[in-house]
Structure 1
Amino acid sequence: MAEARYRSTVEEHQRRVLALAPLLPEDTLALAEAAGLTLAAGATATLDLPPWDNSAMDGYAVRSADTTRACAESPVRLDLIAELPAGTEADPALAPGQAARIMTGAPMPTDADAVVPLEDAVDWDPAAPTAGTEPPAHVELNHPVTAERHLRRRGEDVRAGDLVSPAGRPLTPHRLSALAAAGIAEVRVRRRPRVMVVSTGSELVAPGESVRRGQIPDSNSLLLASLVAASGGQVAHRGRVSDDPAELQAVLRSTQGASDAVILTGGASVGAHDVARLVLAPDSPGGTVPSRQTSTPDGGTPVPEDPTVRFDRVAVQPGKPQGFGLLADGRAVWSLPGNPVSAWVSYLLFVEPGLLAMQGRDTPVAPWYPVVTEEGWRSPPGREQFVPARVVSAPGEPLRIAQATERGSGSHLAGRMARATGLARVPATTDAVSAGNTVLYRALEA
């Protein structure tokens, strides 16, 4: 339970996001069009893989019984009666004492039960070209070969009907390749979330514009749009509005039919000009209230989560003020703090899991791993701390991290975010980290 002055912990706020994030519709797409999407149904193989017994080497398909007496003093000579390239349909009959030259991936003759690599043949010359050459009339072997040697059996990878990938997995390049190899032509997927990203604040100007006193460049909309794309989303709108509530209301209305989710930065706290709170939850209290109960006291049927947009004080640094809920039109909306580091950390903790859950991802919350700290720093008691960190260990060494900036974890230090390779996570029960301590760490994209 969070301390009295906070409404929820990080985990409690994440649970609310996951409970309310609307699941997006399914679609059936050709495999080539589904890259990066999430499987909505398990994908099963339509054929055996491999589809037939085939050779794992360039060499000679033989009957292993013909090689049992082969030795250096008395090589065995086998007559070559066929050439079997990959893609051939040929299945030549092999009588005792006969073999076939075979290439990697070519179907094995029914009568053969092993493959002898080219380099294991007597008088093999590695410098001699083989491409385009006529097959020799015979091959000599001075070692016996055991049955099944260098042979890939039909279906040893997967069988037709086997589950290749369950629902909830992203269609990454290696997973797409596995599905294609298993004969799968189309898949059921969740469509990408269409997301509008809006930075709020009368002080914002476009990056590169002249900055007068009181103004700052809008970096958050670019930050969040890039993060949305990395989470599998599609940015339907990116822009900024002033602190005039009418501007934000107009943008929300104009994007209603073209977006599934809304991410706002700035205006999430209790200031007089915090436009996100004024528009999304004008009656939302700024004081302390207890965390909502989402299950019955006896552990029975969970109580449905109230979807109303609400603004919470989360026990976290940075990113204490957080707004989340569903708009009247059903869109999920996040209202994040305006300081860039806070917006970044808030996205990774609360928005990313929600967008992944909307896509039906089986593990929407990213894992954290223990690492050792190179230095110490202070942590606020009662709040879980997330510190931009950088790897300082050499390649091959156990991972060690330090703060990304020597000036600590200030949420306004936007210019120093570029040094970070990940986030360090410090428990709310800790008020100081010392060099050599173990903390949790999440690596970010390079």
Structure 2
Amino acid sequence: MHTINKLEQNHFSKYFLLKEVTLPTSITSLGNSCFSECISLNNIELPSSLIEIGTYCFEYCSSLTSITLPSFISKIGKWCFFKCSSLKSINIPTTIKEIDDWYFGACSSLTSVNIPSSVSKLGNYCFYECKSLTSISIPSTIKELWNNCFNICSSLTSINIPSSISKIGIECLFECTSLIEINIDNIQFIDDEKIYINEPILVSIEIPENLKLINKRNATKQNIDEFIFSSSINELGDNCFYNHQTLTSINIPTSINKLGCNCFYGCSSLTSITIPTSVIEIGQYCFYKCKALTTINIPISVSKIRDSCFECCSSLTSINIPTSISEMGNYCFSFCSSLTSITIPTSVIELPDGCFNDCTSLLSITLQSSVSALGNYCFNKCKSLKSINIQTSVSRIGVSCFNECQSLNNIKIPTSITLFGKSCFFNCGCEEELKRNTSIPRECFEK
């Protein structure tokens, strides 16, 4: 009598009516896709002799509710239990070293899984769309959580990431919509894309001491109430809190020296923020559309305000620009519609394009003798601006600079100005007076 040691690839694949299987004790290996798409299979007894299960072996076995893995099995292939949508629990033996890619992907009924300390890897998508999984214990033998590992685990309420893990992959906790708490002990690197997104009730996340950089960490549509930072972090990278619409305040530690581009972009509920003197660089669009931000203090350690840095901060009523600022970016305060007054320090030599564009509440501005040029659209549509004292140091007024400044009735044009941009005084309150009393070119008053 012939002894069977292995069931070959696709041996029972697509046996749609197969319900029960008992394998002989001689079996040591199940080939790739061996029971793939056996959609009626609800019970299978694996022999203790079994040491290897191939890739896709039980894929789409949608009626399989439980399975007991033999204690001496050493290898289980990728996608092994993919779409076993009725599988509720599984005990992984200590002989298994890796839970590979898509192991339990779309096992939507899986409520619990035991990961032994022998496991050192959780692969890409390994628990993807395990919508019934409420909790999981990750052993300290795991070194890295790979991409999309717990993606769409929508019932997962909390997760403890042990100190052994130094990297979290892309979208690792994407769409974990019930997640309330994440405890991270030792993360040194957060991937360039999303760690987690769209978890509407996430309460807190504690940032560990070992983390040096939060880089491009997109927290879109989050409702995280609190971020607790370690003093070891030295940079908040590009897009760090991008579009984090429920963040109301944040305490930045004194170890931070850079706020990256788009760092707080679209944080529409952010009302206050303290920037420590350790910060020397604030990236472009850093506070763009922070519509609830009423005031901000730029520390003297900062030398440049980048493009659109505070653009559309519509509740910002005042801002202190320190004497350390030597350069202001284009549209840096554009559409700050509540800003009423501002003083430009002597360190600034040029007001860039669109600097105070559409600041409709701006009543007054103090220019220093250091300013040599007023850029294009610099005070465009500043409809409340009544007067401005242009110093003799100014040699250029840009295109549409005072366009539609309808309340501007008091302005003196020094003889030092040799270049007037088109439409620079179009529909301006002082338009008729300037036409009568100066030799400013006619195109300055035309659209």
TM-score (norm 2): 0.17
Identify which of structures 1 and 2 has the higher relative contact order when contacts are C-alpha pairs closer than 8 Å and 6+ apart.
Answer: 1
TM-score (norm 1): 0.17
